[in-house]
Amino acid sequence: MAERLTTTITPTIAASSAGTEARIGGTVNELSAQVLAERGARADHHRPRQLTDELMRAADLVVVVGKAEVTAPHGVQLEVWDTDEPSARGIDGLDRMRLIADDISARIRAIADRSRP
């Protein structure tokens, strides 16, 4: 979700996605895809891939969304987004995904703001 939101919100920032527990060969969560579509982003061609040291070294910034523990290789800038989990408050389904997308979108805008010269 973060990759697709980034390229939609700030097309000048290149983003790619990889997971700490990626389901290789899987697809994007259906509810996530619906929320992305509502925001003008497409996820139909996205395929999960596993996060590797090589991918992290190729990035200017590695963002970890959620509580996954990631050890970045030396010299890699790592930012952890401890995102809101609406289901902890009994919010599920599309409403949950929309709130998660709102949280991630705000963080993407903050990165874009601090990246401007």
Q: What is the pLDDT of residues 90-103, one digit of tens each?
A: 999 999 999 999 99
How much is the pLDDT for 19? 84
Q: What is the pLDDT of residues 64-82, one digit of tens each?
A: 988 888 988 999 999 999 8
64's enclosing H/E stretch is strand 62-65
How much is the pLDDT for 28? 81
Domain boundaries, the chain: 2-115
Alpha-carbon distance 59 to 2, whole Å?
Answer: 15
Q: What angle do CA 14, 58, 61 make, to 5 degrees?
A: 60
Q: What is the pLDDT of residues 14-26, one digit of tens each?
A: 888 888 877 777 7
For 2-115, which CATH class? alpha beta
